[in-house]
Each structure stands twice: as structure tokens, then as C-alpha cells.
Amino acid sequence: MIVAPLLALLVTVTPQDSVAVGSYAIRGSVASEVATLAASGLTVVLLKSDGTTVGQTLTDDTGKFRFRGLTKGAYEVVVRLEGRAPLRELVAMNTQNQIYEVQLYVRPDPGERRPGGPTVNLAYLRLPRSVRSEFDRAVRASGEGKHDKSLASLEKVVAAQPDFAAAHNQMGIDLYNLGRRDEAARAFRRASQLDPRSPHAFVNLGKLLNEAGEHLQAIELLKTGVALDPASCPGYFQLGVAYYHLNSLQVSESYLRRALGLDTERRYPIRLELANLYLKRRQAGLAAEQLRAFLAESPADPQAAEARRTLERLASAASKP
């Protein structure tokens, strides 16, 4: 029997922020990969972007929950876990959608047993030796920028092992770099279908959709990617980019800062994206701070010259009465 999710118990709020008259809803579920922690009966709290509590409820016996009567704005869903850090998910209600879906996962801590089937590494090891060698040649060629050569090897791999997801994901990468976007999208989708537990194809396809201006679709895929890999710096970075283009700047900032914390090698232009965000919010001081940090960390970056010019313009504007 399917039990209807428990309704959110909304707390008293000020009249202008009242959720009782709103027509929007958050519908979510929690899935647990930890045998000793059930997804049912968990406390779920809904916060506004300023940290104010909007409502609180419990997950039902299938892990589902719901908040109704909401107005447009930025919210954070927090699931409390005993003995663990809470799960958090940002929700930006800035489109015509009236129901927003949220999926959260309880992941095992390091050292805990994790249920599930073979990983991509095991799938790779199970390849016939000749096929594995061909795949290795493709990855090397791709790393050297020889994407046509990589594709030629990958076509042999998928002919021999059509269900090897990593080969389809690698094909997507090479096709993307050759400017064949539609084919790349198909390859990433196929990879995600073959191995829905691997985050890479979801993040890659999300990035591609972001660049095509399909930000809502990108967000759905990217959230799947970061749920599968909570340490995915490119996943959080692309989420920040998507929300920036949807003009949900507070949510964008949160994701970009999370990505920045994960990008210890400074491989992604996250500080430049943050600078753009602060300029859009007319926070010139914060923008300048990000640009200075970017130049200190990446003085030889191709975008460094433009960052310096922007800093000079900001300094000139600040000096005027």
C-alpha cells in the first residue's frame, strides 16, 4: 500500500512572508544506502534563504516528504540525521513550475560497507585484454588532444562491448571537443543509461546543456551527478552557472562557493564566475576580491589580462566622487 506523504507543519511567519497563500510546493524523497539508517521518520526542515525556518515535517515510510503553500523564492531543505551531518539541498523557485522535486541520498561514511553492484573500475577490469588496451589508447589520445584518433579506438571498443558505459562517456568528451554537440549529448545520455550510478555522464551532459541555454534541464542532470558524487567540483560549478543564468544569484553563490572549496588545484574559473555574480549584484568590493584572488592563484591564465582590466575599471569607478 502506498502511503501519502506527510504534509509540512508550517510555523507562524510574518504576513508578507506567509506561505499559507502560496501556490508552490516542494516534493521530495530520501534514499538511504546505509543499512542501519532508514529513510523513514527523518526530520525535514525547510529554511528560507536568510535562514528563517518555514516549516518542518517527517519523511513517511517510503522516505517521501512535501511542503505546500509556498511562494516564489530561494529555500533550503535540510534533513537531520542522527550522528551524521545533515543533508542539504537548495531549491530556487523562480520559474513557472509549481512543484519542485528534491531527491536526497544518505551515503555511507568512509569505511562503511556500501551496497550495490560493480563500479566502472570493475567493468573496466572485466573487459577482454585487447578491448581494455584499445580503450586505454583512446584515453591517451584524447588527453593529447587527438580526438579523432580517440574516437576511432572507441568505435572498436563499443563494437566489442556495447554496454561499456565509460566508452560512451569518453566518446561524448571527444565529440564535444570536436564541436559535434548533438552526437556528444547522445553519447552522454547512453552512458548515463548504461551506468546510472556513475556521475560523470550526468555532469558532462549538464555542462553541455548549460552551454546550450537549457539551464533547467541541466540542473536536473547536475543534481543527479552531485548526488552520486558529493565531491564533484565540476558538478557544483555547473550548478552555480545554471542558477546564475536563471538569475537565482543566492543559490548560484552557494553552489559556486561549494565548488571553490573542492577545487584545491584551481582547475576551474570559479572565482571569475563569482566575480561576475557580484558585479551583477552591484557588489564591486566582493567582485574585486575574487578577481585579486584569481590573479594571485592563476597569474598566467589566458583570462588574467581581462581580469586585470576589470580590476582597473572597478578601482577607477571607486575613486570617482
72 shares a domain with 150: no
Is residue 165 one of the residues assigned to a domain?
yes
Domain shared by 44 and 72, yes or no: yes
Asked if residue 184 is part of any domain, the answer here is yes
pLDDT of residue 307: 94
In a domain, 167, yes or no: yes
In what order do the strands lie in the sheet containing 24-32?
64-70, 24-32, 99-106
Residues 151 and 99 in one domain: no
Residues 25, 76: one domain?
A: yes
Q: How far apart are CA 296 and CA 291, in angstroms?
A: 9
Task: Using pLDDT thresholds of 50, 70 and 90, give the confidence band for residue 13.
Answer: very low
Residue 122's CATH number? 1.25.40.10
Instruction: Kindly state whether residues 18 and 93 are assigned to the same domain.
Output: yes
Which of 106, 128, 154 finishes a domain? 106
21 pLDDT exceeds 80? Answer: no
pLDDT score for 280? 95
Q: Are the beta carbons of 34 and 13 closer than 8 angstroms?
A: no
Residue 264 lies in a domain: no
Q: Is 70 part of a structural domain of the chain?
A: yes
Same-domain check for residues 86 and 140? no
* Number of structural domains the chain divides into: 2
* Residue 224 within any structural domain of the chain: no
| Pair 124, 193 in one domain | yes
Cα four-point dihedral sign 314, 266, 103, 39: negative
Task: Tell me whether residue 140 is in a domain.
Answer: yes
Per-residue confidence (pLDDT) for residue 112, from 0 to 100: 52
Domain boundary residue among 144, 165, 198? Answer: 198
Q: What is the pLDDT of residue 167?
A: 94
Instruction: Look over the chain and give the mean of its residue pLDDT values, rounded to a whole number.
Output: 84
Q: How many other CB atoms are found less than 10 A from the CB of residue 188?
A: 28
Q: Single out the residue in 147, 176, 198 at which a domain terminates.
A: 198
59 in a structural domain: yes
C-alpha cell at 273: 564566475
C-alpha grid cell for residue 278? 557580484
Same domain, 126 and 183: yes
Q: What is the pLDDT of residue 84?
A: 86
Cα–Cα distance measured from residue 117 to residue 105, given in angstroms and rounded to the nearest whole number: 17
Identify which has the larger pLDDT, 148 or 96: 148
- Nine-digit cell at 102? 528534491
CATH number at residue 18: 2.60.40.10
pLDDT in tens, 41-63: 888 999 987 788 888 888 876 77
Q: Is the pLDDT of residue 22 over 70?
A: no
Lowest-confidence pick of 35-39, 73-77, 127-131, 181-185: 35-39
More confident residue, 179 or 14: 179
- What would the pLDDT profile of 243-272 be if each residue is shown by its tens digit? 999 999 999 999 999 999 988 888 899 999
Query: Both 121 and 181 in a single domain?
Result: yes
Give the range of the structural domain holding residue 127, as residue numbers without chain letter: 117-198
pLDDT for residue 210: 96
Backbone angles phi, psi at 253, to 5 degrees: -60, -40
- Rounded to an integer, the average pLDDT of 221-249 is 93
Model confidence at 73: pLDDT above 90: no
Whether the per-residue pLDDT at 211 is higher than 50: the answer is yes
The answer to whether residues 13 and 102 belong to one domain is: yes
**Whether the predicted pLDDT of 293 surpasses 90:** yes
98 and 30 in one domain?
yes
Residue-wise pLDDT for 84-143, tens only, equals 889 998 888 876 778 888 888 888 775 554 444 334 457 887 889 999 899 999 989 998
pLDDT at 285 over 80: yes
Same domain, 98 and 142: no
